Structure 1
Amino acid sequence: GTQKHVVAILDITDKVRAEEAVQLATKKHKFLNGIIRHDILNHLTVLKGNLELALEKNDGAADAIVLQKEIAATNAIQALISFTRDYQDIGIEPPEWLDVREAVHKAVAGIRLGDISLSVEIEGVEIFADRLLPEVFYHLVRNAVVHGQKTTWIRIFCQESFEELHIVCEDDSIGIAPDAKEKIFDREFFRQAGPEMYLAREILSITSISIRETGTHGEGACFELRVPKGGYRFSGIQK
């Protein structure tokens, strides 16, 4: 009789991508844990040195300066410990397809917007990302609310460009100074301004999503998430 062959094709793209993301996250955890331990030890050294100095001196003015340094070192240690708490969850679970609109609404649920209007012009769009994606939008929106100084509106939308999906979060805040546009995502910078933007970049990088700030200082901030081809899909009608 005639021989028949059955060929089964299984698309394991998402599985492979998820495994690669978990491996990358593990490497990031090991690298960052070493850095954080080093930074904490440095701050503890400063704190210990100033405490010893305070014991040796009785001058009121000098004591005030020493105490200020002690408080600054303590605050830095607290920030580092809080950062490790937030960072430890990145990549623990494999990334998955997440609805962008739902992620934004989940993120802003705990933010008091006051008189600031928020427009989310995204519908039926999913991206392959770490499950902490809502944290990214939380930090972006909160940044505009807390540090924007004159923010009255925030707009989040997306558009395709050269086989990429650009998810944009813009506002009419004071914006980001030109010399800080790249620094806000650096590890060195968060020692001064907090780890929020660094954390956002790390969450996104798990699935090769990049982020940059393209706004005009004085007119508003504009954060652009660039999702590569294959990392986004349309699950409904894009409005």
Structure 2
Amino acid sequence: MDKDTSGKANNSADKTVIWKRLFLATALVLVGVLVASLPLPHPLTSRPVTTNLTGVLLTLGSLLAGLVVWWSLLAQKFSPQVRTFVEVLIYLTAINIVVKFTGGLYSYFTFLYFLPILYSASNFTARYSWAVFIFTALIMSFHLLDNNGSSFSGSVSALILNLFGVWLVNGLGRSLAEQLELIHQRQVEIQLEQLNKLDKIKDEFVFIIAHELRSPITAIRGYLELITTDSALKISESLKSLLQKSFNTSTKLANLVGLLLEIARIETGKIRFYYQKIDLRDSLDFVTAALRSEAAQKDIQITTQVEKENIVSVDKERLEEILNIIIGNAIEYTREHGKILISSQSTEKEIILSISDTGVGIAPDKKDKIFEKISSDDDQNGEATVKEYRISLYVARQLLALMKGDITCESVVGRGTTFNLSLPRYWSWGTP
């Protein structure tokens, strides 16, 4: 979330809270004026209040018994919020009975209603907190049936006064809960902004490091290639073999740095695509020609069953990079004398390119993880390890997704793997 969007959201939330407070304050003033004009008995403290101690004790015993039954038989069947909601209703019922045995609407214990009301208003959703308020209003209204000798109008006035206090506490509790929620949301937004900044710095750092490593690695590869191919230099076969291994290792390192640089471009948004209509067979011929020497070292046969004039709308360089990744992996994880088959199917909107090998395959529990950039699951058995596949396939999937394509995998351990690439025939915004 950018600063402008975050600031607008915060201002909107602040205005909402302010309007709610103004509404609450206005309602309190108006209702307060009405309550002040009620025909209450004067003074209230002069009302005779009798206490039934036996009733109070029975109420407390019943409350404990009800809670024991609730927790032992029923509570675990409901969600935590519903359990708490039911418990609040039990407490309110017990308080109502205590109030009844200690003077009804004129009891000194009516303040006890405020405690569960404040708790529910501060911790429950609006629906549950207002349900608690309505329940409280209903059970308090039953005291009108037992007015302790006072006039009916006086009892109604006392009820309204008590309900006004309950409503006041509920409203203030809801306001407090919303303010705390707003503060929590702002803290989360600040933390997300900080994490996004750190993530961006990390991506920039990887991009810079990968870019700086590319030049010296290219120079090292050039020197090694010059030494191993220059016939004028007289070097022993053992040294030549060692230099060739060093060259192959530097090539792998260069490819890894290239993948890291590509990931950094993707995640920092610095990657650019130049779409054009190309013949898929031409790109396949270019990539397979570059990889045939590598395949020949393991006597792997590459067969291409893709006709000419299979036109796709993609970035040519990125497509060849993806094909190099998929076919290169197929060569690497296919045993000697194996086979790689490249075929295609056309639909109205896309071409499905399938690249199948007779390699070691991928275990079912690892198949869904091979497109992830990071995973804690590493295979130690030597079977087409997810760890070695992962970075290149992550890049391939991301590049395809950015070009409105997709890639899926089908594999059987010990029999081989097939990658299916979906390539758009047209630009997503254009016509054929």
TM-score for both structures, normalised by structure 1: 0.58
Residue number in structure 1 paired with 2:311: 126
Q: 3-state SS of the aligned residue for 1:103?
A: helix
Q: 3-state SS of the aligned residue for 1:175?
A: coil
CA contact (8 A) 2:366 2:386 kept: no
Give the deviation of 1:150 after TM superposition: 5.2
2-structure distance, mates of 1:118, 1:125: 19
Give the deviation of 1:204 after TM superposition: 1.1
The answer to whether structure 1 residue 85 and structure 2 residue 269 are counterparts is no
1-structure distance, mates of 2:363, 2:281: 29
Q: 3-state SS of the aligned residue for 1:230?
A: coil
Give the deviation of 1:192 after TM superposition: 3.2
Pick the aligned partner of 1:113 from 273, 282, 295: 295
1-structure distance, mates of 2:256, 2:338: 32
Give the deviation of 1:146 after TM superposition: 1.1
Change (3 A) 1:33 1:176: farther
Residue number in structure 2 paired with 1:9: none
Structure 2 unaligned runs (5+)?
1-196, 208-252, 376-384
The count of corresponding residues between Structure 1 and Structure 2 is: 168
* Residue range with higher mean Cα deviation, 95-104 or 143-152: 143-152
Pick the aligned partner of 1:96 from 257, 266, 276: 276
CA contact (8 A) 1:95 1:128 kept: yes
Structure 1 unaligned runs (5+)?
1-29, 41-76
Give the structure with the larger helix fraction.
Answer: 2
Residue number in structure 2 paired with 1:192: 387
Change (3 A) 1:108 1:32: farther
Give the deviation of 1:205 after TM superposition: 1.2
Give the structure with the larger strand fraction.
Answer: 1
Q: 3-state SS of the aligned residue for 2:295?
A: coil
Residue number in structure 2 paired with 1:27: none
1-structure distance, mates of 2:279, 2:399: 16
Name the larger-Rg structure: 2
2-structure distance, mates of 1:31, 1:107: 38
CA contact (8 A) 2:369 2:386 kept: no
**What is the letter of the counterpart of residue 403 of structure 2?**
T
2-structure distance, mates of 1:133, 1:223: 14
CA contact (8 A) 2:300 2:336 kept: no
* Residue range with higher mean Cα deviation, 175-184 or 85-94: 85-94
Q: 3-state SS of the aligned residue for 2:355?
A: strand
Change (3 A) 1:169 1:81: closer
Q: 3-state SS of the aligned residue for 1:110?
A: helix
Give the deviation of 1:35 after TM superposition: 5.4
CA contact (8 A) 2:351 2:423 kept: yes
Q: Which string of whole-angstrom CA distances, capped at 9 and with x for unpartnered residues, describes residues 162-198 of structure 1?
A: 7542110011111122122221111114993252111
Q: Which string of whole-angstrom CA distances, capped at 9 and with x for unpartnered residues, describes residues 32-76 of structure 1?
A: 865545889xxxxxxxxxxxxxxxxxxxxxxxxxxxxxxxxxxxx
Pick the aligned partner of 2:324 from 138, 156, 160: 138
Give the deviation of 1:157 after TM superposition: 1.0
Q: 3-state SS of the aligned residue for 1:213?
A: strand
Give the deviation of 1:97 after TM superposition: 1.7
**What is the letter of the counterpart of residue 113 of structure 1?**
A
Residue number in structure 2 paired with 1:11: none
The Cα RMSD (Å) is: 3.6
**What is the letter of the counterpart of residue 126 of structure 1?**
I
2-structure distance, mates of 1:135, 1:219: 26
Q: Which string of whole-angstrom CA distances, capped at 9 and with x for unpartnered residues, describes residues 76-113 of structure 1?
A: x9987543334448842422222211212222333211
**What is the letter of the counterpart of residue 100 of structure 1?**
L
Q: 3-state SS of the aligned residue for 2:374?
A: helix
1-structure distance, mates of 2:424, 2:361: 26
2-structure distance, mates of 1:159, 1:127: 12
Q: 3-state SS of the aligned residue for 2:412?
A: coil
Greater RCO between the two (CA within 8 Å, min separation 6)? 1
Residue number in structure 2 paired with 1:205: 401
TM-score for both structures, normalised by structure 2: 0.34
